[in-house]
């Protein structure tokens, strides 16, 4: 027997999960994968480590996990076994062997999230679990400028859930952008940074949408970064529009194409 550490990239539909992280009550992504690994390992408990948690209803296109398995199963066999035993809500995209000093959470150098907003006049029942519906007018140039105000290194206290418990709220956002898909009637926001506080992206969206339809001044993001007061920012947007797209383990990869390259960055925390 040869214990082996695996790094795995997974996708999941978070609709029917109470988030990623295992908890006493409620079905979770971590719990589902550990259930399957226990079957594969003939009753042996195997704990997984994720790059970070996602909340109930949040989806992932590129969540990263690692675990130690009691035998060295070939990569394709591991992928096939996991995909055959997990529910269709989870898909194992990539499997690789890694050294025992690799850690899915503590070695991250950044993450990328996307948030999808449905701007059609009426709610689409087939999008309701995967986008936030927002039928109000959008001033796209104002929205794009507000996003640029987010980029850089700031104290993001105004955009962190009050119960997060984290003292250091300084993070660097490498990219904050939006593209419009007129055919689908959607806005697709992208946020890439060295770390994200609890609910940070969802509070960004709740605030940005108010700026984009004129309920807040165009430059309000600058003011909110200065006041460092969560009570003055917008609401926390619904979870179903949020996607964890990619997790980075290399600084140059995390900062590629941005103006905010840093030789050292903080480990990813929060969402």
Catalytic residue positions? 55
Tokens representing residue 122 in the block: 């009426």
112 near 190, Cβ under 8 Å?
yes
C-alpha–C-alpha distance, residues 9 and 250, integer Å: 16
For residue 86, give Cα distances in angstroms to 39, 81, 264: 11, 9, 37
Tally the residues of the chain: 271
37 near 46, Cβ under 8 Å?
yes
C-alpha–C-alpha distance, residues 96 and 110, integer Å: 20
Handedness of CA 261, 106, 67, 192 (dihedral sign): negative
């Amino acid at each position: 027997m040869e214990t082996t550490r695996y790094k795995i990239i997974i996708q999941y539909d978070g609709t029917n999960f109470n988030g990623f992280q295992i908890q006493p009550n409620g079905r979770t992504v971590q719990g589902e994968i550990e259930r399957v690994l226990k079957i594969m390992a003939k009753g042996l408990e195997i704990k997984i480590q994720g790059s970070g948690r996602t909340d109930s209803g949040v989806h992932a296109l590129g969540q990263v996990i690692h675990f130690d398995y009691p035998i060295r199963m070939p990569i394709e066999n591991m992928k096939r076994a996991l995909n055959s035993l997990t529910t269709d809500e989870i898909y194992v995209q990539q499997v690789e062997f890694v050294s025992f000093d690799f850690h899915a959470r503590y070695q991250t150098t950044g993450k990328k999230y996307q948030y999808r907003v449905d701007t059609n006049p009426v709610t689409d029942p087939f999008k309701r679990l995967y986008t936030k519906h927002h039928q109000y007018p959008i001033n796209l140039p104002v929205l794009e400028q507000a996003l640029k105000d987010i980029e850089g290194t700031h104290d993001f206290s105004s955009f962190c859930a009050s119960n997060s418990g984290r003292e250091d709220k300084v993070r660097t956002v490498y990219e904050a952008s939006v593209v419009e898909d007129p055919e689908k009637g959607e806005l697709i926001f992208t946020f890439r940074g060295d770390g994200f506080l609890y609910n940070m992206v969802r509070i960004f969206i709740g605030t940005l949408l108010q700026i984009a339809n004129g309920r807040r001044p165009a430059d309000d993001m600058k003011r909110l970064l200065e006041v460092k007061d969560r009570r003055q920012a917008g609401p926390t947007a619904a979870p179903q529009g949020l996607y964890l797209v990619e997790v980075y383990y290399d600084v140059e990869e995390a900062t590629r194409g941005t103006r905010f390259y840093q030789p050292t960055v903080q480990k990813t925390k929060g969402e």
